[in-house]
Amino acid sequence: MENNEIWNSEEEQWFVKSFHETLSRLYAKEASHLNRRGGSRTLGDRWKHMNEKIYRDLAQAKTSPQIRTVISDLWAKSGRPPSLQEHTGALWKFISKDSEYARDLSLVALASYQGSSSLFRETVKDAVQKDEGRQLSLNLEKATTQEQVLKAYQTLWDFVETNDEQEKTIWKFS
């Protein structure tokens, strides 16, 4: 959602950007949790279930407090999306001013999220330039099972999660 012509305000653009960052972080956390705890459901099934839950929670929220609660819970669970950190006050005013519009925009952001597109490629490109990224590449080349692939990506996630400055660069949208 980079086309600036579709936005009525900067706050709308920041809101969708923060929502996309939130989704990206929630998906990455789910992949990390799957790697640690295992389970019978595939990562794709888990992400599908997560999307359905987010959709249900947003669609069922009818009052301003309910809508703000759903959105702020998502932000909190995702772990400090950069756009939210940068524009906290403006985003809180935005969802408080017209919460139904914010809910609808959340649904648009959910529908328009492009999972493993440019953000993922940039993340991997950045990490591959580091030793951890080279290890990720080696692990992926050797991987023959889904579990081994998930463990390889856990290396990437650990790298992102433990290096704050790198994380700000990696998760930054252009």
DSSP letters along 141-169, please?
Answer: HH--SHHHHHHHHHHHHHHHHH-HHHHHH
Distances (CA, A) of 83 to 59, 125, 127, 149: 24, 21, 21, 30
- From first to last of its 174 residues, the chain has per-residue pLDDT tens of 455 677 889 999 999 999 999 998 898 888 887 777 777 888 888 888 999 999 999 999 999 999 999 999 999 999 888 899 999 999 999 999 999 999 999 999 998 887 654 454 555 555 555 565 566 666 666 767 767 767 776 766 666 555 544 444 444 332
Please give the pLDDT value at position 1: 47
102 touches 94 (CB < 8 A): yes
Q: What's the CA gap between 14 and 34, in Å, rounded?
A: 30
Reported pTM: 0.65
Q: What's the CA gap between 165 and 149, in Å, rounded?
A: 26
Please give the pLDDT value at position 118: 47
118 touches 173 (CB < 8 A): no
